[in-house]
Amino acid sequence: MAISVREVQNKRNSTGELTGKAGVVYDVNIKYRSAGRRKTYAKKGFSTKEAAQQHEAAMKAKLSDPSCLPPAASFRKRTVKEYMLEWMEQYGEENLRPSTKAGYLSTMKNHIFPYIGDVALKQLTPAMLDDMYGKIKAAGLSASVVRCSHKIMGVSLEYARKHHYIENNPARDILTKFEKDGDTPDPYTIEEMQQLFAGITEPEWQLILVLAGLYGLRRGEILGLRWRNVDMEKRTFSVIEQLPYDISAKTKQLSEMAPVKAGERVLPITDWALPYFQTQQAHQNQQKYLMEKSGHIYYDNDLVITKADGSPLLQEYVSRKFKQYLQQLHMPPIRFHDLRHTAATNMYNLAGDFYTVGQILGHTLKGIGSQLNISDELSSITSHYVTVRVDRKLLVLNAYHADVLGKEA
């Protein structure tokens, strides 16, 4: 069938906004032939069957028109840059998160196109890629930039090979040996987390630390958490959406949220975490009152963490501000994302239950095992661990939160 139905946990409405409610969406899949080869067109996530049917009809008409399909001969003349930009539109739209897509495009523009962008795709060789990686390294850029460039080339060229744009993937036959960056910083200890909380006193940043360093939420999940998904009576909050990565610094009112990367989940609010939610809510209400009293607009996005006027904080700002805090407190430098690893490591060390830790963080079983370097015996995990109850999560979180924030709630 060209249209299929699937269930989702967080459905979008007709305007594209996430509702926070489960439902069904409709996917369009059309098989067609181009240049004598079978191909498939897919677009997913239509909120109504009618919208999916309209898109299906329009695309069937377009795909049946030979003038709309690029002839195979024309592809032989395409440069690496032309192909990769087209690949990003086709592949990236369906398979990459906005933040990943933005990062790929930046790497392509700054580190790939200057060296091989004008080379004809069919003439690209492993030696050209080796030469490019050498020049990126010689420019003083980090090993991670070289590895990221190679990853992008490998994925994009494999896509070209599978679609018969090229016969072989030159990224498979390179000679470059990829180095690792310097040692990954150690996660913060319980004592270092206590030092962090003692040194950062702003209400919104204390709650950011709770969500990142004590719950292990991702940056986008923290900035996308909304009060409607926080239930302080039942002592739970739901992680079902995140702040879109590609919003601008001028954004005041959000039109939509992005789905979480993985692991939509309900987490308990511990006795130690509750005061931080309450304090931030009172602080935000005071900010709203002062803005409106002074005649300024308060942009009520229902976000838990915001600027003083209610508009969303940028993810890059949070990372920069966190770095400044660490410098002021003379603490070991880590990335903001390393607070997530800190939470995972400390919870596991205290409770020894890596599966529950993975559920708290929204990790797959393989993902949390890899992060904690304990993935050798995953086959021993049995099916009764598929869903971890909230009360089990609470036991693990209580142990960690009590150690960091004090034994007295």
pLDDT of amino acid 30: 82
What's the Cα-to-Cα distance from 145 to each of 107, 133, 140, 206, 371, rounded to whole Å? 8, 9, 10, 33, 21
Pick 258 or 180 by higher pLDDT: 258
Average pLDDT taken over every residue of the chain? 83
Of all residues in the chain, the percent with pLDDT exceeding 70 is 84
* CATH number of 171's domain: 1.10.150.130
pLDDT of amino acid 26: 82
For 111, the token pair is 């580190």
Q: Are residues 100 and 229 in the same domain?
A: no
Cα separation, 142 vs 377, whole angstroms: 34
pLDDT of amino acid 214: 97
Q: Are residues 130 and 144 in the same domain?
A: yes
Pick 284 or 52 by higher pLDDT: 284
The count of structural domains within the chain is 3
SS (H, E, C) the chain: CCEEEEEECCCECCCCCECCCCEEEEEEEEEEEECCEEEEEEEEEECCHHHHHHHHHHHHHHHCCHHHCCCHHHHCCCEHHHHHHHHHHHHHHHHCCHHHHHHHHHHHHHHHHHHHCCCEHHHCCHHHHHHHHHHHHHCCCCHHHHHHHHHHHHHHHHHHHHCCCCCCCHHHHCCCCCCCCCCCCCCCCHHHHHHHHHHCCCHHHHHHHHHHHHCCCCHHHHHCCEHHHEECCCCEEEECEECCCCCCCCCCCCCCCEECCCCCEEEECCCCCHHHHHHHHHHHHHHHHHHHHCCCCCCCCCECCCCCCCCCCCHHHHHHHHHHHHHHHCCCCCCCCHHHHHHHHHHHHHHCCHHHHHHHHCCCHHHHHHHCCCCCCHHHCCHHHCCCCHHHHHHHHHHHHHHHHCCCC
Cα separation, 369 vs 392, whole angstroms: 19
pLDDT of amino acid 109: 94
pLDDT tens digits, 319-338:
999 999 999 999 999 999 99
Out of 123, 147, 182, a domain closes at: 182
Q: Are residues 140 and 246 in the same domain?
A: no
pLDDT tens digits, 242-255:
998 778 888 999 88
Out of 15, 47, 69, a domain closes at: 69
Q: Are residues 87 and 224 in the same domain?
A: no
pLDDT tens digits, 110-150:
999 999 999 999 999 999 999 999 999 888 888 888 989 99
Q: Are residues 388 and 243 in the same domain?
A: yes
Which amino acid would we find at residue 240?
Answer: I
> Where residue 73 falls among pLDDT bands split at 50, 70, 90?
very low
Q: Are residues 147 and 264 in the same domain?
A: no
Pick 281 or 26 by higher pLDDT: 281
pLDDT of amino acid 382: 39
pLDDT tens digits, 10-51:
666 655 555 667 788 888 888 877 666 677 777 777 778 888
pLDDT of amino acid 134: 92
Q: Are residues 286 and 300 in the same domain?
A: yes
Q: Are residues 310 and 221 in the same domain?
A: yes
pLDDT tens digits, 340-399:
999 999 999 888 877 888 889 987 555 544 555 544 444 444 334 445 578 889 999 999
Q: Are residues 395 and 366 in the same domain?
A: yes
Pick 68 or 62 by higher pLDDT: 62
Q: Are residues 81 and 29 in the same domain?
A: no
Cα separation, 383 vs 387, whole angstroms: 9
Q: Are residues 328 and 392 in the same domain?
A: yes
Q: Mean pLDDT lowest for which of 1-10, 195-204, 253-262, 293-302?
A: 1-10
Out of 69, 101, 127, a domain closes at: 69
> Where residue 101 falls among pLDDT bands split at 50, 70, 90?
confident
Q: Are residues 115 and 87 in the same domain?
A: yes
Mean pLDDT in residue range 262-272: 87
Residue 77: domain span: 72-182
pLDDT of amino acid 186: 84
pLDDT of amino acid 15: 53
pLDDT tens digits, 182-207:
556 789 999 999 999 999 999 999 99
